Amino acid sequence: MLAGQSRDKKSLTQLGQISFVNTLPVVLPLLNGGVQADCHLVFGTPAELNHKLQRHELLLGAMSSFYFLEDGGFELFPEISISGVGRVGSVLLFSQDELKDLNGKLVDVPDSSATSIKLLQLLLLEEFGIEPVFRKQLDFHPCRTDARAVLLIGDEALKHEQYRKTDLRVDLAQWWFNSFNLPFVFGVWGARKNWAQNHQDRFQQIGDFLVQACKMGLTSMLPEVIAEASTRTGLNHERLSGYYLDELDYRLTQEHIEALELFSKLCRKHGLLDASG
């Protein structure tokens, strides 16, 4: 249990956390009290958390980078993100056709995140000038789709990373890196600007806790992180160790900020992000 979790939830700071295994290095140290942030964690998919943040049901927490850019009303917690520098392993496109041949064809995408879908859209537009037809899927059934391509993210991508071995398999973070030589930022932690301004000490404290938790989750608590991720995904220790230590990148450096700015610029260029947002 999170330290302080037994107290009245209303008296604790509500902190959104993504429910995918990619956040376990941050989440588990908070849950087991290794880092005592004195927060109540609210879990959901990126899309669910984005919705709660948009409705002001949450004022701070993890969110997709596209929602952060679209909303424009959040202050980022420093030094922490969910990113990839090259291959990330959990944002994968499987296509029966060459990418340049997907124009006008059906592509199944998840309903759990906007960022990966927008990334796929802009990469296809930037490189090939094409637009497939995207169909959001509530539940993914590997053997039940008539789409020519399928985008998998998060836990589903990890579980099905060998999905249809005859398909072209494209890691979107690697594609982005090959195109722009920058990391890609999938998720960030932030707080409403007015909340951050009115609670400056608490904002800094929570930011420090998030960074501390992540460091612990990737070192002393890594065996627990991997064990939990294995239970959820069925993947072995070696695969998950590589995922956390070699593929995911939890930093937020100036280079990551530049990548966010480029993502915003390209989304606006292609009409994927409201220019006033």
Confidence of residue 143 (pLDDT cuts 50, 70, 90): low
Phi, psi of 77 (to 5 degrees): -70, 130
Of 42, 130, 78, give the one whose Cα is nearest residue 257: 78
Lowest mean pLDDT among 19-23, 31-35, 107-111, 247-251: 31-35
Q: Which residue has the higher pLDDT, 260 or 146?
A: 260
The CB density around residue 199, as the number of other CB atoms within 10 Å, is 17
Strands 106-110 and 149-153: parallel
Provide CB contacts within 8 A for 156, sequence distance 6+: 110, 140
Would the pLDDT of 58 be above 50? yes
Strand order across the beta sheet in which 248-249 lies: 39-44, 13-18, 60-64, 184-192, 74-84, 248-249
pTM of the model: 0.92
Would the pLDDT of 95 be above 60? yes
Q: Can you give the pLDDT at residue 274?
A: 73
d(CA 237, CA 242): 9
Of 52, 79, 82, give the one whose Cα is nearest residue 64: 82
Report yes or no: 224 and 52 within 8 Å, Cβ to Cβ.
no
Q: What percent of the chain has pLDDT over 70?
A: 92
Would the pLDDT of 260 be above 70? yes
Report yes or no: 249 and 183 within 8 Å, Cβ to Cβ.
yes
Q: Can you give the pLDDT at residue 54?
A: 95
Report yes or no: 28 and 221 within 8 Å, Cβ to Cβ.
yes
Q: Can you give the pLDDT at residue 112?
A: 83
Query: What are the tens digits of pLDDT across the range 148-199?
Result: 999 999 998 998 877 777 789 999 999 999 999 999 999 999 999 999 999 9
User: Taking CA 244 as the corner, what is the angle to CA 241 and CA 247, rounded to the nearest 5 degrees?
Assistant: 110
Q: Can you give the pLDDT at residue 214?
A: 98
Sign, CA dihedral 238-244-245-246, equals: positive
Q: Can you give the pLDDT at residue 165?
A: 77
Confidence of residue 20 (pLDDT cuts 50, 70, 90): very high
Rounded to the nearest integer, the mean pLDDT of the chain is 92
